[in-house]
Chain A
Amino acid sequence: MLNLPGDDDLCAVFLTELPVTGAAISIFVGTANETRMGATDDRAIALDEAQFSVGEGPRWDAMRTRAPVIVPDTRAAHLEWPALGTALADAGAAAVFVLPLIVGAVNIGVVEMYHTRPGSLSAPTLLHAQTLTSTTSWALMHSILDEGRRNPGAMTESEPLARREIHQATGMILVQADVSAAEALMLLRAHAFAHEQTLAEAAQAVINRSLNFAAEPDAVSDSAGSEEH
């Protein structure tokens, strides 16, 4: 089970702070490949599922473009997403706002919000939404980086995102393993946990070129050792 800080609570903030009826959060990184969801209500979940099943819609565009996607009137959604058609309107959303959850080049997931009345978000409201999304992204990233550790409490880092070497190693690994930034970070995390290292230590090994994820990450990891410390 993913042990993230109450996804439903994370969603609730969007409802409290923004003029929206409901919100759902989907995450694409972590232990499981499947999308884990937190949501304020069933309609928010239904909206996500409608897009998930057809493979198109604002959530996918927000992921791909890494930018907010605003649908002020879902009755016109079929013009942009023919396969999705009227599914959003049918599910009861008049307006949909999707913001990507990102940290640097790492795509964590999306926040999907809706309103039962049509309309866009004002510029200040959209900025506020982006700030909330950013705070949520960092909170999720901290949880994801620490989640799945075999010895809870051991070797944890309170400030992994402040360590430059972790981001540099992510860039190196995404080339070595030909994966996304998110996957590269997960590879680094898995190695650190398996070898009871901190993320910063594993990252330093990558930068020193004593650890490489080019092929067969497990075999490479075993031979790389941990002579750094």
Chain B
Amino acid sequence: MGFMESTTRASRVSAAFVRIADTLVDEYDVLDLLHTLVDECVGLLDATAAGLMLAGPDGVLQVLASTSEESRLIEVLQQETGAGPCVECYVTGVPITIRDIAGTGDRWPKFKDAAATQGFQSVHAFPLRVRGKTIGAMNLFRIETGELSEEDVAIGQALADVSTISILQERSIRESAIVNDQLQRALNSRILVEQAKGVISEISNVSTNEAFERLRTYARSHRTSLTDTAEAVLGRTLTL
């Protein structure tokens, strides 16, 4: 790697951390943070798509953020809520690298088929860990077989760690309580956003994907959170 190339990389990496830190204003929205995380990972690392899942109160992983709201990517991720590298990463708390998804036999048949349909050939799952507890996992998908470079793995895990710590940042309250509360707020927000997508999709006769773009655009341009925007849509005080 040449000097120019590496400085560019270093500055892009630090810019990614800054953008994540920028989402951490007072009363920040966890969903906004997680969307920034997956976007930065795909922008920076050798990956085509990314999805992040957190465990719900029922112990089942939920898709919280992804680089595309297209139902096809979501379907691959949702297949993983049952069994797949993300679940395995979440359960074991260690990174999982699948360099050739097609070669996984009948380990996760539904995931394998869904990934093949999307042209994803390899996947790397990063655990979201805090103080020894794993709260979820992030997937990076690639359209080629093979592994992420060591540097990409290190940067990806660092971005994931910073986000996890940020989600669960300590206040003067008991740790487990704030951790669980933050997680459940995030999961609840995700459901609100999906319901609001349905409302927009129905009222304005657009796809759920377009509905999400409208939610996100409104939230950004009005400097408000996705969650608050979704609540306003559901309360029918805002039409998008």
Contacts and interface: CB of A to CB of B under 8 A. Distances in A.
A161 B56 contact: yes
B177 A171 contact: no
B226 interface: no
B143 to A, nearest CB: 23
B174 A104 contact: no
B57 A127 contact: no
B192 A105 contact: yes
Contact of B208 (A103, A130, A175, A207): A207
B80 to A, nearest CB: 10
Given A171-B195, A171-B201, A127 B181 contact: yes
Contacts of B119: none
Contacts of B234: 105, 171, 174, 181
Contacts of A167: 191, 194-195, 198
A123 interface: yes
Interface string A131-162: 10011011100100000000000000011011
Give the residue among B61, B63, B192, B196 with the most A Cβ atoms within 10 A: B192
Given A105-B192, A167-B198, A162 B81 contact: yes
Contacts of A175: 198-199, 202-203
A131 B81 CA distance: 22
Contact of B78 (A124, A130, A163, A176): A163
A172 B56 contact: no
Q: Which of A103, A104, A159, A176 has the most CB of B within 10 A?
A: A104
Contacts of A170: 195, 198
B53 to A, nearest CB: 9
Size range of the chain B interface in the assembly? 35 or more
A128 B234 CA distance: 27
A157 to B, nearest CB: 10
B201 A168 contact: yes
B63 A164 contact: yes
Contacts of B203: 175
B56 A162 contact: yes
Contacts of A142: 58
B62 interface: yes
A159 B60 contact: yes
A110 B199 CA distance: 25
Contacts of B60: 158-159, 161-162
The 4 closest A-B pairs by CB, nearest first: A171-B198, A104-B191, A167-B194, A127-B177
18 contacts: A104-B192, A124-B174, A127-B177, A127-B180, A127-B181, A131-B57, A137-B57, A161-B60, A161-B191, A162-B60, A164-B63, A168-B197, A169-B198, A170-B198, A171-B197, A174-B195, A175-B203, A181-B195
